[in-house]
Structure 1
Amino acid sequence: MDPSRRGVLSVALFSVAVTVPDWPDVVGRIEAAQKGARTRIGMSDVHTVTAMTEQLSTMDDQFGGRTARPLAAAFLVNTVAPFLRTDGPEDVRKAMMSAASDLCYLTGYMAVDEGLHGLAQRYYLKALEFAGASEDHLTYCTTLRGMSVQAVNLGQGPTAKRLADAAAAASPQAGPRMRAFLVGQQAHAAAQIGDRRSALLYLHAAEVAMDKAESRGKVFGSYDPAALNYHTSRVRFEMGDVHGAIAAMEESDRLRDDIYRRTRAHHRAILAEQQLSVGYLEAACHTWGLALDDYPLVNSGRIDQRMTDMFHLIRPHLRNHEAQALYERARAVVRPELIPV
């Protein structure tokens, strides 16, 4: 498939803007649910959902959305939904809705990784609903940011910027790492719509916030210097500074923890495309080779798409020995249906 077809898909998805509820419209509100079979829930049940969500997130990081999302969806339907239909103390019910919100956000993120964008949006909107009902600002903002990431990666800059701005506006008291997490995404979205000045201001704000966060030593999710360098790379690339984008992506790769295998493979494929775009053919082949090292262990629609793109991009260079070797190795490793005839 021609890589440019992704643009057609994204236009169809975002042709009608998703209606995102503002924080005051969702806080403390949710439809009444019927009672389930259990008579009462407690904080131990909340802890079960939280612990399971953490395990599912780790699986997603290591094995990709296609592997982890069916497990997350089953847990959500079979375990979390009955908890939500069961009576309990008010503080426990709010905590359970907060935990459900986090799980819905994660499941939506996994659906994005699969390429199931409409399904992802439905999970994201449910995450916003639960976050408002439980007054969980953190997950509310994180979900809006996730929706912005989805939009910017599909080339829908204005939508991405609107969602990134909404996420930042809904979290005025964010700590430094959360602020870096939010404004880094604003930078990427601003760069995509050509607002160079704002993109650089947001990127600088993210760097300052990350410096403060690192000095405190507390980790927020997976947003760390590796993630910030990834945002720097995307901003540079959107602004036409491909060499700067390559340098930042290489630094991101150097800093990334090994646990994030899916992200590593995906971002290495992006780096290889950047390297090839400025004529670094052999470097690109080496980087794609590193992505192929992880490929058999990761089941990800995003990475599959990058591998399909790789075949098209490398084919004109098959007279080069390293390009030919990469092409043949990829044919032996990549899923057969992704290999162009």
Structure 2
Amino acid sequence: MSTAVVMVEVQRGGLVESRHRGHAVVCDASGAVVAAWGDPDAVILPRSSVKMIQALPLIESGAADRAGLGVEQLALACASHQGAPLHVGKVGDWLATLGLDESHLRCGAQPTRDRDERQRMVRAEEAPCQLHNNCSGKHAGFLTLTRDLGAGPEYNEIDHPVQVAVRAAFEDVTGAASPTFGIDGCSAPNFATTMQGLARAMARFAVARPDTGDARGRAAGRLVQAMMAHPDLVAGQGRACTELMQAAEGKAAIKTGAEGVFTAILPEQGLGVALKIEDGAARASEAAIAALLVRLGVLQADDPAVRRRMAAPVTNWRGITTGEVRAVPGLF
């Protein structure tokens, strides 16, 4: 039986219409559980919530510096962007500095999530390309490391030197061997871990600093700083990661993943947060992560970006508010 607990309720007409269950863990850098809901030992695929882990070898190998990557490129390496012109242009420019182009990516074409760009492309009868893929920044990072290593072009293969390095970094920061992996939407391997392992990894990032410690710690510190410096590149206009990081004002790096996953890195407190909504609903994961970060003191409950997610209105086709998606009181 599932040990997940109710985290979010959907209310209509004074009744609870549906419930979303999940797991959440808060850890310190030693791996100790500070707070937990559900099962800390639940094994999940963290999906895009761990792109900062996947970017560690890019920096600690020296490949990022040898390629002259700046803070924007590091933020894009951690991004699940929405394929707006801002994102597409910067990833395209990054590839060009490597002497590469969109055809070298292995993430697949994906329609842009940016409304204005989507309408422009429809009018122009222009097809989306791999640069529009939300993972194109991560893949540009993989390509940068691939070129630096002199490795083959199929960097997504599980036995490719890039993915071998990613797995080693993943298992180090989570504190355990990964029991399995799945293939993500962008075709890269996604390694499984426990909820506690994921929270521990985020806490490792929380205590990392770009100017002190070992190579892995310095790399982690640079990635956290890049994410917090450029939340617009990590996701995009109207997206939860971007808006909640902006609301946190430098107190958190926040990252979503498919199927109801969120992670958060809290440098001032040295804490890491991992969240998984069991049914994969984004409306529930956004409500729950906002509530947890209010509880932890990095977000204010009355901030508009936070209110929109902790108690998101449900509207009908006439625009009438008919209910709300609300985090349960035990989370905040």
TM over 0.5: no
Structure having the higher strand fraction is: 2
Q: TM-score, normalised by structure 1?
A: 0.30
User: Which structure carries more relative contact order (alpha carbon 8 Å, separation 6+)?
Assistant: 2
The structure with the largest alpha-carbon Rg is 1
